Amino acid sequence: MGVLKAICISPEKGTVKQSVPDAVLRPGHGIEGDAHAGNWHRQVSLLPSESIGKVRALMPELADGAFAENLITEGVDLAGVAIGDRINVGEAVLEVTQIGKECHHGCAIRKITGDCIMPREGIFCRVLSGGKIAPGQPVSIDAQLRDMAV
């Protein structure tokens, strides 16, 4: 079992996400107050802190939210998830809907480091069951429900 390290949101698309002390996940919507929330398959994005740490080795000033990630996890094998897996964050339940995404042109991280981890390591989910979340809460993957995914 892992832990939630940070929550990041932005009020507008195309802006850097900022860390917040807690947030509310709404079923079928995403994180209240985040520009990427809505009725679609990429309501919440996750990245492992271990991957972010590798980029921070090259860019120590890199802030949480720089990859437009919503949730930063630690000790969770996000690389091992499949579409339909459930991710438990505190009492909330997310369903994996997409793994990776195309990096937009002009990505500042790619320009500086020559690479961007979001296309390979970003996980996108929809919210099945909501609730208030905060850093320090447990995060776990439930792959047993994979075949039952809707």
- CATH number, domain at 65? 2.40.33.20
pTM of the model: 0.89
Residues 13-25: tens digit of each pLDDT: 877 799 999 999 9
Rg, Å, the chain Cα set: 14
Residues 90-128: tens digit of each pLDDT: 999 999 999 987 666 666 666 666 667 777 888 999 999
Q: Which domain holds residue 110?
A: 2-148
Please indicate whether residue 26 or residue 100 has the higher confidence score (pLDDT).
Answer: 26
> For the chain, what percent of residues have pLDDT higher than 70?
86
Between strands 86-89 and 92-99, the pairing is: antiparallel
Show the tokens assigned to 149: 């995914």
> How many C-alpha atoms does 22 have within 13 Å on its Cβ side?
8
The domain tally of the chain equals 1
